[in-house]
Amino acid sequence: MSHQKPLSNKTAVVTGAGRGIGRAIAIGFAKAGADVAILARTQSELSQVAEAVTGQGVRCHVGPVDLADPEATEKACADVVASLGKVDILVNNAGVDLELGQVADSDPERWWRAIEINVRGTYLVTRFLLEHVNEGGKIINMSSGMGLRAAAQQSSYTVSKAGVHIFTECLANELWPRKIDVNNVIPGPVATDIFNREGRPERYTPEEVLEKFKDELPPGFPPQERIKHPDEVAELAVLIASQPVGGSTGQTFSLARRPF
Give the pLDDT band of residue 251 (cuts 50, 70, 90).
very high
| Beta-sheet strand order (sheet of 181-186) | 60-64, 35-40, 11-15, 87-92, 133-142, 181-186, 252-254
Catalytic one of 128, 157, 167, 195: 157
Residue 202 has pLDDT above 80, yes or no: no
Residue 204 designated active-site: no
Question: What pLDDT, on a 0 to 100 scale, did the predictor assign at position 216?
Answer: 80
Question: Rounded to an integer, what distance in angstroms lies between the CA atom of residue 205 and that of residue 196?
Answer: 9
Question: What pLDDT, on a 0 to 100 scale, did the predictor assign at position 194?
Answer: 63
Of 9-23, 58-72, 175-189, 218-232, which range is least confident?
Answer: 218-232
Give the pLDDT band of residue 199 (cuts 50, 70, 90).
low
Mean pLDDT, residues 73-95 = 97
Q: What is the pLDDT of residues 85-94, one digit of tens each?
A: 999 999 999 9
